[in-house]
Amino acid sequence: INDALPESYELGPEVRAVIEGLMLIGLILCLVSFADLRKRRPIAANILLLAAGLLLALPVYGWFEPARASGIARICFPIVAALGLFVIFVMWREGAARARASLLSWAMVVAWTLLAALAALTSPADSPGRMLVSAGLLLVLLTLGFTLAQFAFSQGLLAQRFFAEDARRALALAASQQCVWDWQVEENYLHVGEDIEKILGLRRGSLKDGAPEAWIDLMHPGDRSAYLAAVEEAERRGHGSFSQEFRLRRGDGTFRWFLLRARAISGPEQRAARCIGTLSDVTATRRAQDQLLSDAVHDRITGLPNRALLADRIEREISAAGRGPVNNLYLMLIDLDRFKAVNDGLGHETGDGLLKIVGRRLAAIAGENDTVARMPGDQFAILFNGDKPKRDILPFTDKVRTTVSKPVNMRPQEIFLTASIGVSALREGSLTAEGLLKDAAVALYEAKRRGKDTVEFFRQAMRDDRTELVVLEAELRRALERNEIEVLYQPIARLADMELAGFEALVRWRHKSLGLLAPERFIGLAETTGMIKDIGNHVLNEAGRQLGICRASSSPPISWMR
């Protein structure tokens, strides 16, 4: 150091000893910091820090014994430099980022140490070589100081205290795949960055000019007015946050949904000088929301409107028609005969496939202003508008029956279906969707009661019959418990000799108030309610029991009964 200073500023041996001792301590501390030993090798870091603490006595000792203190410092300095180069190299091979950044700086320390040793051993005190070594010391000190400052601001204590929150926000913004949206109002400059270009598949730099017009051109025409209104309102208000969803066009012509969340920064005259925020790609969220909305009003299997959407369409048709006389507006309820047996026998996957095919076929024959809907269970509905264009309901019902009855190829077998159809017309008494649906349900019940592959139009008398059927249904459920279901026997004779050959078992219901009811009065009801199996078992048991009695008592014995 004295070689680099004027003679009037030369340092005494005591000061030089103190400085050399402090340089040795500083070199040890730099090694701990550069190699990041406190995180990667805490034991080695503690040993070096302990050594640095003990060496604090060296500058004090140098004030009293400068020659010995300087000798100790000069011997330890190259040892620490060489050890540091080895440690930093090992840390660099292990992938330590700080060691990689400081390897060059430490190599300069080692190089200067070697040159200083050579100069001290071979060059006179006033030689140019010693002057260059002294100047090199200043360069090394500047390099070490710069490296330490870099660590302090990027990873060290200063960064943790002053810049950690900003770093976290920047990392979180990058990790969340959000893009920066920055509109400088006075310059009318819009910055959206390169990330949005990557998401949209645009050519790099296509949005770098900052022109808001280019940004608006990318936006879906249906979203531009709402976006401009939100941004202009934020600029006028001058403070607060706002958010807006809109679609942006990708390079392939498709659109993606984005959510803008931004805040206005106040400027002169209480208007915004800047609006800054983030853009998030919310396409997946919007698609999920659209799917939920679709599932709320559409059938999941067939994709057709469900009962709720059908009721809404009916109400719209009624509102459009007004309260006056209405012609040619009908509701058809279509029930697939034997579908439950097919579904249970062949499996639900086959049943769902049948529903899809029937739904597509019905949609194909429906008119432009008709609505085909999937009802609960195995039913469909068609809201028939015969005025747009002019059509008649009767040919259309026949077309529906023919369409449903076409064979369905569900490999390896073909399935044949039929349909029972109930039709209700819009009239004064059913000027609501619920009324129209109830009338069609009553007509459908009557169609199923009369047999399969049948069409019935609602009549007011059906409602009275329906009331009677509801009462009969409740009483039929208790008829077996009360032993009101009787079995009568009709004898069968052989024509050759007119001898008794057997009996035919006939079921009757002995109703407490209606008297003896023939099968046509209650068998259809039993089939609809699912009680036909219990009644059939009852008849078989009674007939078998009676056959046993007849065989034991008759002569000749009766051989059969049906």
Predicted pLDDT of residue 558: 56
Question: Which has more pLDDT, 390 or 367?
Answer: 367
Residue 82, SS3 per DSSP: helix
Same domain, 134 and 185: no
Question: Which has more pLDDT, 309 or 137?
Answer: 309
Q: Which domain holds residue 208?
A: 176-287
Of 432, 458, 484, which marks where a domain is finished? Answer: 458
Please state, in angstroms and rounded to a whole number, the distance separating the CA atoms of residues 310 and 325: 22
| Count of domains for the chain | 4
Decide if pLDDT at 236 tops 80: yes
Does residue 293 sit within a domain? no
Predicted pLDDT of residue 76: 87
Q: 207 with 197: CB under 8 angstroms?
A: yes
Same domain, 319 and 427: yes
Does residue 171 sit within a domain? no
Decide if pLDDT at 81 tops 90: no
Continuous segment of H or E residues that includes residue 417: none
Please state, in angstroms and rounded to a whole number, the distance separating the CA atoms of residues 50 and 29: 11
Same domain, 324 and 454: yes
Does residue 66 sit within a domain? yes
Q: Which of 79-93, 213-227, 317-331, 339-353 is predicted most confidently?
A: 213-227
Please state, in angstroms and rounded to a whole number, the distance separating the CA atoms of residues 163 and 152: 10
Does residue 63 sit within a domain? yes
Same domain, 426 and 483: no
Spell out the alpha helix ranges (H) of 94-240: 97-122, 128-154, 157-158, 164-175, 193-200, 212-218, 221-237
In this structure, of 46-50, 163-167, 288-292, 370-374, the range with the lowest mean pLDDT score is: 163-167
User: For the packed helices 532-553 and 519-529, what is the interaxial angle rounded to 10 degrees?
Assistant: 130
Same domain, 241 and 180: yes
Residue 350, SS3 per DSSP: helix
The tens digit of pLDDT for each residue in 245-269 reads 999 999 899 999 999 999 998 877 7
Q: Residue 399 belongs to a domain with what CATH number?
A: 3.30.70.270
Same domain, 142 and 25: yes
Same domain, 495 and 350: no
The tens digit of pLDDT for each residue in 534-559 reads 888 888 888 888 878 877 775 555 55
Same domain, 268 and 130: no
* Segment 438-458 mean pLDDT: 86
Does residue 463 sit within a domain? no
Of 259, 287, 315, which marks where a domain is finished? Answer: 287
Does residue 170 sit within a domain? no
Of 257, 287, 317, which marks where a domain is finished? Answer: 287
Sheet of 272-281, strand order: 189-191, 179-184, 272-281, 255-266, 241-249
Sheet of 418-425, strand order: 371-374, 379-385, 329-337, 418-425, 455-457
Same domain, 375 and 501: no
Task: For the chain, give the mean pLDDT.
Answer: 80
Please state, in angstroms and rounded to a whole number, the distance separating the CA atoms of residues 542 and 548: 10
Residue 66: count other Cβ atoms within 10 Å of its Cβ: 19
Same domain, 453 and 479: no
Sole residue written with tokens 């077309």: 399
Give whole-number Cα distances, 554 to 286, 505, 539, in Å. Answer: 82, 17, 22
Give whole-number Cα distances, 285 to 56, 127, 218, in Å. Answer: 63, 76, 21
Does residue 454 sit within a domain? yes
Predicted pLDDT of residue 247: 94
Q: Where residue 399 falls among pLDDT bands split at 50, 70, 90?
A: very high
Please report, for the chain, how many H helices and E strands are present, in that order.
21, 16
Does residue 147 sit within a domain? yes
Same domain, 110 and 233: no
In this structure, of 272-276, 315-319, 332-336, the range with the lowest mean pLDDT score is: 315-319
Same domain, 16 and 118: yes
What the block records as the tokens of 432 is: 């609501």
Predicted pLDDT of residue 446: 83
Decide if pLDDT at 9 tops 50: no
Taking the model in full, what pTM does it have? Answer: 0.48
